[in-house]
């Protein structure tokens, strides 16, 4: 068992900051101590196997990305990051746990989908991982299968109001699943867009010859996100089930969540870096087919309409509780190009897992959020929301030693040939500059990133069985 002492740094938890040294024994944190503390009169540094100097730097809990899609089949192709490449890229960016989505489509068995995702991830991950379960076909068999999710350490599942014929559930199916989830204590995660209406608008646009990536954002109008978010809230209220709305992009959808929370409803929302920084006009509207790089769902929204500023405000006021990536990367060549003549055929997804911590830290630099809120959004709330807090999401005794040493005086240039380790032939974040840098990353006490680069190993990551959400009422 290796002992490690991190000295000289400022420990940042969701509750605040303090100068402290962190003592690690094996995989766990054993003490958070006043700087220069001794043990039984002996110098701690002299008695450990390894010392890491964090002077002038932040010591934070490793990031938890609670929304990723490694190796996900979509639109006739498969997400380009494997569990091996995607979790390695995550480690480069200071993320030490992901929660991916096991998939059941209509006509398939929940148990088979989960077994397939275990097969894909087992022995391949650089960091720890867990699963949510997508229920893409709500029927008696899948509802019965939900009983076994708790035994598998899966305490959340996802439904779709979008993608008719693939994942879509109608209101009756949603209500039945939510009622079952309420009985079991599962968190319902919802993709809230009105899929049938989107399909009508998309078909009409293509018939008019409007086929470029820009029209992906026009077809998926904010009204259809707002409407679906409201409907999901009402169905959850009838079922008395907690609700977590994923990848919120429209300020009007935030307003629906805010109004429900103000009435005491047990609803939550996440957004993603792309909705905080990127826009319909600048990215989806890029010349030619270039906008395909940024085709994702929900879509990027208009900067002129103020969605980005509203999302940042919601993160400050806790009307949105988390920032995940919805990491689902597709290469331009042979993948995004499938929709060259029809935006409906462009695989939906952006690669961001490596950059989430940095992009949110830039929000600290620009005074949009505080240091503790940065940690809360990227690590602590995901841990609490999805049943791993105490073990993950905090620098405290008995927690896993998932730790990032972050240098606020460092600098990170994002882009191909710079900081880009995802299995992608482009970067959605090309040219972004960050006033900070991930220096050292530890996963369960093992250094997996240091000044020399990635020093971790395939298979280091373990499957984490999750408990119930701490946000259940």
Residue 76, Cβ density class (10 Å: 0-12 exposed, 13-18 middle, ≥19 buried): exposed
Q: What is the pLDDT of residue 369?
A: 98
63-385 adopts what CATH topology?
TIM Barrel (3.20.20)
Give tens-digit pLDDT for 266-303.
999 999 999 999 999 999 999 999 999 999 999 999 99
> What counts of helices (H) and strands (E) characterise the chain?
13, 25
Per-residue pLDDT in tens (0 to 9) along the chain, 473 residues: 899 999 999 999 999 999 999 999 999 999 999 998 877 556 787 789 999 999 999 999 999 999 999 999 998 899 999 999 999 999 999 999 999 999 998 888 999 999 999 999 999 999 999 999 999 999 999 999 999 999 999 999 999 999 998 899 999 999 999 999 999 999 999 999 999 999 999 999 999 999 999 999 999 999 999 999 999 999 999 999 999 999 999 999 999 999 999 999 999 999 999 999 999 999 999 999 999 999 999 999 999 999 999 999 999 999 999 999 999 999 999 999 999 999 999 999 999 999 999 999 999 999 999 999 999 999 999 999 999 999 999 999 999 999 999 999 999 999 988 889 999 999 999 999 999 999 999 999 999 999 999 999 999 999 999 999 999 97
Domain ranges of the chain: 3-60+392-410+417-454, 63-385
- The alpha carbon of residue 261 and the mean position of all alpha carbons in its chain are separated, in whole angstroms, by 22
Q: Do domains 3-60+392-410+417-454 and 63-385 have the same CATH topology?
A: no
* Residue spans of alpha helices (H) in 154-221: 171-184, 195-207, 214-219
C-alpha–C-alpha distance, residues 77 and 92, integer Å: 26
Closest by CA to 65, choosing from 103, 32, 91, 40, is 91
Cβ proximity of 10 and 58 under 8 Å: yes
Cα(278)–Cα(300) distance, rounded to whole angstroms? 7
Q: Helix or strand or coil: residue 64? A: strand
Q: Say if CB 211 and CB 261 are below 8 A apart.
A: no
Q: Which tens digit of pLDDT belongs to each residue from 294-339?
A: 999 999 999 999 999 999 999 999 999 999 999 999 999 999 999 9
Q: What is the pLDDT of residue 30?
A: 96
pLDDT in tens, 160-197: 999 998 899 999 999 999 999 999 999 999 999 999 99
**Could you give the CA distance from residue 283 to residue 277 in angstroms, rounded to a whole number?**
10
Superfamily of domain 3-60+392-410+417-454: Urease, subunit C, domain 1 (2.30.40.10)
8 A C-beta contact, residue 354 and residue 90: yes
């Amino acid at each position: 068992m290796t002992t490690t002492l991190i000295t000289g740094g400022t420990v940042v938890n969701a509750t605040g900051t303090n100068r402290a040294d962190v003592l690690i024994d094996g995989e766990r944190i054993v003490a958070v101590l006043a700087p220069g503390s001794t043990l039984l009169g002996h110098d701690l540094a002299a008695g450990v196997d390894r010392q890491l100097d964090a002077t002038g730097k932040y010591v934070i809990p490793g990031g938890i990305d609670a929304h990723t899609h490694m190796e996900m089949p979509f639109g006739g192709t498969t997400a380009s990051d494997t569990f091996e490449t995607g979790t390695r890229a995550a480690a480069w960016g200071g993320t030490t746990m992901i929660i991916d989505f096991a998939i059941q489509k209509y006509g398939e068995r929940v148990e088979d989908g989960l077994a397939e995702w275990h097969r894909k991830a087992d022995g391949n991950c650089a960091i720890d991982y867990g699963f949510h379960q997508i229920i893409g076909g709500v029927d008696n068999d899948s509802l019965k299968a939900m009983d076994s999710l708790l035994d598998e350490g899966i305490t959340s599942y996802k439904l779709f109001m979008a993608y008719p014929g693939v994942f879509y559930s109608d209101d009756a199916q949603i209500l039945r699943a939510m009622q079952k989830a309420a009985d079991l204590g599962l968190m319902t995660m919802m993709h809230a867009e009105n899929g049938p209406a989107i399909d009508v608008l998309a078909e009409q646009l293509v018939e008019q010859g409007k086929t470029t990536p820009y029209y992906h954002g026009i077809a998926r109008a904010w009204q259809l996100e707002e409407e679906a978010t409201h409907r999901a809230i009402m169905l959850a209220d009838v079922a008395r089930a907690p609700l977590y709305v994923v990848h919120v992009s429209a300020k009007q959808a935030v307003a629906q969540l805010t109004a429900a929370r103000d009435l005491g409803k047990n609803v939550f929302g996440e957004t993603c870096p792309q909705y905080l920084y990127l826009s319909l006009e600048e990215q989806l509207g890029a010349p030619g087919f270039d906008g395909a790089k940024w085709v994702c769902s929900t879509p990027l929204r208009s900067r002129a309409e103020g969605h980005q500023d509203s999302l940042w405000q919601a993160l400050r006021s806790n009307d949105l509780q988390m920032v995940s990536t919805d990491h689902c990367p597709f290469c331009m060549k042979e993948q995004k190009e499938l929709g060259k003549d029809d935006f409906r055929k462009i695989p939906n997804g952006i690669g961001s897992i490596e950059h989430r911590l940095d992009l949110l830290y830039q929000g600290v630099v620009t005074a949009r959020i505080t240091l503790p809120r940065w940690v809360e959004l990227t690590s602590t709330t995901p841990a609490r929301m999805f049943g791993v807090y105490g073990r993950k999401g905090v620098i405290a005794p008995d927690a896993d030693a998932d730790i990032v040493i972050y240098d606020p005086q460092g600098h990170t240039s994002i882009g191909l040939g710079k900081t880009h380790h995802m299995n992608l032939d482009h970067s959605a974040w090309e040219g972004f500059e960050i006033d900070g840098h991930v220096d050292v990353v530890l996963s369960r006490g093992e250094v997996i990133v240091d000044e020399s680069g990635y020093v971790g190993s395939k298979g280091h990551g373990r499957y984490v069985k999750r408990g119930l959400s701490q946000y259940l009422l």
